[in-house]
């Protein structure tokens, strides 16, 4: 008598004719990094979510305070007043600077936009950890939404800055150069976006980086000419040339030339800022995409 071969039990759905007609060739394991082209298409498909999330949270950061949205403008105003007393009055950094009040307002308001992008990106993935673990979507949507949210909340502060330099003596002239300011703001946005993507991945891997970035932000501020003219304190040509490659310095110098001094900024400033605005978000996006599989697993 021939021994019967043991047969493994078959799944009851294994012979289902409906499942046989399902195309599973395009299915991917959950959590695996998709190709870059597919990743971009998925991200574009979430554009409405990114916009809705950014718009809903843009002005909610100070909702638990008594003055609410006033702090969007009030915080840089208080910083500007403090810097004016310390650097403008006590240290006499205003000497030789034309329209120092406007100079300081532009420095504080415009630099704070980049500073918030730097530190905000570091906390982007940790704040969205629950959503990352619960849903499947391109993780780049989180830093993109954060950057768009920061931009929406910055627009009223920038408009306030422009109004202040017009009405506070010595009044800045209203010229056609002001029409070029949106170009500067767009370039700053692109650079900030790339910086946010970098810090989002780095801080996701090294949480302690969020504390270090706070110190770096202050060091960056002092090297960008926010409160004083760098040319006055730096005389070494090599050091000065290095500082002038700083994207924040380029933003401040171009903005001051356009809004305060009614003159066309130097071409080198435009080229340097444009290079930062193109290279930083492109490399930052690829760098963030390469770490897609690791987000939410810490």
pLDDT tens, residue by residue, 16-65: 555 455 555 555 555 567 888 898 998 998 888 888 878 877 666 555 54
> CA-CA distance, 226 to 220, in Å (whole number)?
10
Residue 278 included in any domain:
yes
Please check the confidence at residue 13 and state whether its pLDDT lies above 50: no
Residue 17 included in any domain:
no
pTM metric for this prediction: 0.81
Q: Residue 127: what pLDDT?
A: 73
Give the number of other Cβ atoms within 10 Å of residue 191's Cβ: 26
Residue 183 included in any domain:
yes
Please check the confidence at residue 298 and state whether its pLDDT lies above 70: no
Range(s) of the domain holding residue 163 = 48-291
Q: Let me know: does 291 contact 201? Beta carbons within 8 Å.
A: yes
Residue 210 included in any domain:
yes
Give the number of other Cβ atoms within 10 Å of residue 41's Cβ: 12
Residue 2 included in any domain:
no
pLDDT tens, residue by residue, 205-253: 888 788 888 888 888 998 898 888 888 777 788 888 888 899 999 999 9
Who has greater pLDDT, 30 or 138?
138
| Interior angle at CA 245, CA 241 and CA 249, nearest 5 | 105
Provide the number of structural domains found in the chain.
1
Who has greater pLDDT, 2 or 266?
266
Residue 26 included in any domain:
no
Mean pLDDT of the chain: 81
Packed helices 70-83 and 141-167: angle between N→C axes, nearest 10 degrees: 60
Residue 154 included in any domain:
yes
Residue 158 included in any domain:
yes
pLDDT tens, residue by residue, 152-188: 888 888 888 888 888 888 888 999 999 999 999 999 9
> CA-CA distance, 259 to 261, in Å (whole number)?
6
Q: Let me know: does 201 contact 122? Beta carbons within 8 Å.
A: no
> CA-CA distance, 298 to 294, in Å (whole number)?
8
SS3 string of the chain? CCCCCCCCCCCCCCCCHHHHCCCCCCCCCCCCCCCHHHHHHHHHHCHHHHHHHHHHHCCCCCCCCCCCCHHHHHHHHHHHHHHHHHHHHHCCCCCCCCCHHHHHHHHHHHHHHHHHHHHHHHCHHHHCHHHHHHCCCCCCHHHHHHHHHHHHHHHHHHHHHHHHHHHCCCCCCCCHHHHHHHHHHHHHHHHHHHHHHHHHHHHHHCCCHHHHHHHHHHHHHHCCCCCCCHHHHCCCHHHHHHHCCCHHHHHHHHHHHHHCCCCCCCHHHHHHHHHHHHHHHHHHHHHHHHCHHHCCCC
Q: Residue 218: what pLDDT?
A: 86
> CA-CA distance, 128 to 131, in Å (whole number)?
5
Question: Closest Cα to residue 106, out of 127, 129, 90, 83?
Answer: 83
């Amino acid at each position: 008598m021939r021994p019967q071969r043991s047969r493994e039990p078959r799944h009851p759905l294994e012979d289902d004719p409906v499942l046989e007609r399902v195309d599973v060739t395009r299915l991917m394991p959950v959590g695996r990094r998709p190709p870059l082209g597919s990743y971009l298409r998925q991200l574009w498909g979430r554009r409405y979510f990114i916009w809705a999330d950014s718009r809903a949270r843009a002005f909610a950061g100070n909702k638990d305070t008594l003055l609410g949205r006033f702090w969007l403008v009030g915080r840089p105003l208080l910083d500007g007043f403090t810097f004016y007393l310390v650097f403008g009055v006590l240290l006499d950094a205003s000497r030789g600077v034309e329209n120092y009040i406007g100079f300081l307002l532009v420095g504080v308001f415009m630099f704070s936009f980049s500073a918030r992008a730097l530190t905000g990106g570091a906390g982007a993935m940790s704040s969205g950890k629950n959503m990352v673990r619960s849903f499947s979507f391109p993780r780049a949507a989180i830093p993109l939404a954060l950057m768009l949210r920061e931009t929406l909340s910055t627009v009223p502060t920038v408009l306030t800055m422009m109004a202040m330099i017009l009405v506070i003596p010595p009044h800045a002239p209203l010229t056609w150069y002001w029409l070029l300011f949106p170009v500067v703001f767009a370039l700053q946005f692109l650079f900030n976006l790339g910086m946010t993507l970098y810090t989002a991945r780095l801080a996701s891997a090294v949480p302690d980086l969020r504390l270090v970035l706070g110190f770096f932000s202050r060091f960056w501020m002092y090297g960008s000419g926010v409160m004083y003219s760098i040319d006055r304190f730096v005389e070494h040509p090599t050091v000065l040339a290095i500082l002038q490659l700083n994207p924040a310095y380029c933003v401040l110098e171009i903005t001051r030339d356009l809004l305060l001094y009614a003159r066309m900024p130097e071409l080198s400033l435009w080229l340097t800022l444009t290079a930062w605005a193109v290279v930083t978000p492109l490399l930052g996006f690829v760098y963030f995409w390469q770490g897609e599989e690791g987000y939410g697993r810490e």
